[in-house]
Amino acid sequence: MLLENKNAVVTGGSQGIGTATVIELAKEGANVCFTYRSHETEALQVRDEIISMGRKAVCVKCDISSFEQAEGVITTAVKELGSVEILVNNAGMNWDGVSWKMSEEQWDRVMEVNLKGYFNFTRHTAPIFKKQAYGKIINVTSINGLRGKFGQTNYSASKAGIIGFTKALAKELGAFGINVNAVAPGLIETAMLKTSDAREKIIDMAMGEMVLKRVGQPEDLANLIVFLASDKARHITGEIIKVDGGQYI
């Protein structure tokens, strides 16, 4: 197993990409502490599934935009798991609207969650990684942070910010044996997409851009995250890796 005896923190682990990531990390031997915001039933189910694999699992309700709550999650992870070697910043949100109609609240909330939330968890984890001279940080961004998307200036800007954050962080922490990378998904079939009234339209538009004519699944991203969290990726840092079926190109 790639991650035996490793301990991971994953934000937003109760649905979609987060759930797939938590499960794949556990399959490879990791114990996991993950956050959720509102889907408690789903979070407890994921926790129980990990425990059934013989791994330790902790789920913590958290608004990742809160600096103090993020600190509490990391403190809980260290207490319950014994240490932390892996951080996956995954939780995020969108609140779409064209720029000339977007409210200040729409802009601020997306930035608070998608960008500040990543800082909050990294800020409380980096000192631990630095002290132990080991750590893996994987940030989930988006191809729309690379190219922008109509109606998503706030979301695209936040995801572009994560890219800059990842590269700067890799430079700061590399000397301490810490790898920092980001994964940039294209269209992934999460619960949000499955229940969207515009599902077919969204898929048709994405398919028109994709080289591989298939809709991405959460596991497609989770498998890469597991690799980047392992020592097989020990010489990779500061990279933004697209998982999009060729949608960006």
- The residue ranking higher by pLDDT, 32 or 206, is 32
Is residue 152 a contact partner of residue 199, using CB atoms and an 8 Å limit?
no
Q: What is the pLDDT of residue 194?
A: 66
- pTM for the model: 0.96
Distance CA(103)–CA(245), nearest Å, equals: 33
Q: Is 36 a catalytic residue?
A: no
Q: What is the pLDDT of residue 207?
A: 86
Mean pLDDT computed over every residue of the chain: 95
Q: What is the pLDDT of residue 183?
A: 98
Q: Which of 36, 134, 155, 248 is catalytic?
A: 155
Helix (H) or strand (E) holding 221: helix 218-229
**pLDDT tens-place string over residues 228-244:** 999 999 999 999 999 99
Is residue 216 a contact partner of residue 188, using CB atoms and an 8 Å limit?
yes
**pLDDT tens-place string over residues 124-178:** 999 999 999 999 999 999 999 999 889 899 999 999 999 999 999 999 999 999 9
Distance CA(180)–CA(165), nearest Å, equals: 10
Distance CA(86)–CA(225), nearest Å, equals: 10
CATH superfamily of 7-190+217-243: NAD(P)-binding Rossmann-like Domain (3.40.50.720)
Is residue 92 a contact partner of residue 63, using CB atoms and an 8 Å limit?
no
Q: What is the pLDDT of residue 97?
A: 84
**pLDDT tens-place string over residues 63-115:** 999 999 999 999 999 999 999 999 999 998 888 889 999 999 999 999 999 99
Q: How confident is the model at residue 197 (pLDDT cuts 50, 70, 90)?
A: low
Give the orientation angle of helix 153-173 with respect to helix 104-111, to 10 degrees.
Answer: 30
Task: For Cα atoms 10, 14, 18, give the angle at the middle one, nearest 5 degrees.
Answer: 45
The dihedral through the CA atoms of 30, 118, 120, 15 has a sign that is negative
Residue 192 above 70 pLDDT? no
**pLDDT tens-place string over residues 99-111:** 999 999 999 999 9
Is residue 240 a contact partner of residue 141, using CB atoms and an 8 Å limit?
yes
